[in-house]
Amino acid sequence: MGDPTPNPHATNAKTNSKRKILFFAAGTGLVLFAGILFFQTFNAKDGAAGEEKQAGKVRLSGSQPTLRSQPVAKVGSVVITEDELARECLALYGPEVLENVVNRAIIQQACQKAGVVVEQAEVHAEVEKIAKRFNLDTKTWYDMLQAERKMNPNQYRRNVIWPMLALRKLAGQQTNLTQAQVQKAFIRDYGPRVKARMIMLDNLHRAQKTWDDVKRNPAEFERIARDYSIEPNSRALGGAIQPIPQYSDNESLWKAAFKLKEGEVSGIIQIGPSRYAILFCEGRTEPVVTDINEVKNQLVEQLTEEQTQEAVARVFAKLKEETRVDNYITNTTTGGVSQTSGTNFSKGQVKQAIPNPTQGFNRAGK
């Protein structure tokens, strides 16, 4: 577990009531501008940088890179060529961009082996679907991607949408929702939450000492949080955090929170490696929605997508383990190991491994 945030358990009630349905594309990161230049120098065609159109299908180019020596700038009498620019980009961003290309190649080979094809029409339809979730037309969505993520439409379709759709098809239908899961999600997203302040510490000895101080002077919790908490944002607010929902990701935190009565101080809660929390309960919030039938369809859609994401992550992790990759930039070799038992992927690992096509935007498109 990485360093916790002011809200290590969940988003606030308003955000959760409109919880975003996230769509992921396995193993492909955002390409920085210089990295894009590097990639396009090697393989550019009509601005697509590797996306070829044949019979209505999206296919990744497998041609060998060819450097060119056309001038890209002139400084006084010195001419800077594409070769020089490519070498600089390779040195700065080569590993990152190459990882994107390698990941797409891994997915493409798996698709060829399984007979899976992603049509261009499917890619464009998925982009339109995502844009509509933000009440935007496709052009506006692309403009926002360009402005906020420095990604043009071809890069977005090639690096994010195509791999996502391909992996979904490779994963197949692997969702199996139960009523209990839907009920827990309803309580998590719309039920009452614990209002609390939190002191975060990274050492058990300091946590014990701080807890002793808090137990002696519970009225001084805010001051103690400002003095000793290691989490900068909540520390500045006297330990104030967003209300803690039941069934959120950090089980140890919410279980401890829901045992507290207003005015009570928790024990020392270990919420991760070298991460300890002390809570002060300030009461509970009212439920956002009381009838599950009002939001059941949204919950089912959301949970189905979450299960699909996890299935996609497992498939991609398995493909990476089975496919040998010799990386001559980093001088490393990975994969090539046969795996039959599947890969266990936590939700946190899913988010780290798979970028979100809507990252940085809320429902209003901001």
User: pLDDT tens track of the chain, all 366 residues?
Assistant: 444 444 444 434 444 444 443 333 333 333 333 333 333 333 333 333 344 443 334 444 344 445 568 999 999 999 999 999 999 999 999 999 999 899 999 999 999 999 999 999 999 999 999 999 889 999 999 999 999 988 999 999 998 999 999 999 999 877 788 999 999 999 999 999 999 999 999 999 999 999 999 999 999 999 999 999 999 999 999 999 999 999 999 999 999 999 999 999 999 999 999 999 999 999 999 999 999 999 999 999 889 888 888 899 999 999 999 999 999 999 999 998 754 444 454 444 444 445 556 555 544 344
User: Among candidates 271, 64, 28, which has minimal Cα distance to 162?
Assistant: 28
- Residues across the chain: 366
Report domain extents, the chain.
13-175+295-353, 192-284
Instruction: Write down the pLDDT at residue 11.
Output: 39
Instruction: Work out the number of other CB atoms within 10 angstroms of the CB of residue 121.
Output: 11
Instruction: Work out the number of other CB atoms within 10 angstroms of the CB of residue 127.
Output: 20
Would you call 81 helix, strand, or coil by DSSP?
A: strand
Give kind and range of the element (H or E) at residue 284.
Answer: strand 275-284
User: Model-level pTM?
Assistant: 0.61
DSSP string, 282-340: EEEPPPS-S-GGGTHHHHHHHHHHHHHHHHHHHHHHHHHHHS-EEETTTTEEE------
Half-sphere CA count of 154, side-chain side, radius 13 A: 15
Instruction: Write down the pLDDT at residue 217.
Output: 93
Give kind and range of the element (H or E) at residue 200.
Answer: strand 193-201
Residues contacting 15, CB < 8 A, separation 6+: 362
User: Among candidates 219, 166, 235, which has minimal Cα distance to 26?
Assistant: 166
Burial 163-192 (b: 16+ CB within 10 A, else e): bbbbbbbbbeeeeeeeeebbebbbebbbbb
Measuring CA to CA, how many Å separate 22 from each of 59, 226, 335?
A: 25, 35, 28
How is residue 76 written in tokens? Answer: 């006084």
CB 299 within 8 A of CB 185: yes
The residue assigned the tokens 């996609």 is: 312
Instruction: Write down the pLDDT at residue 60.
Output: 42
Please list the residues that pair with 244 across neighbouring strands: 194
Pairing of strands 193-201, 275-284: antiparallel
Right CATH for 192-284 from 3.40.50.300, 3.60.21.10, 3.50.50.60, 3.10.50.40: 3.10.50.40
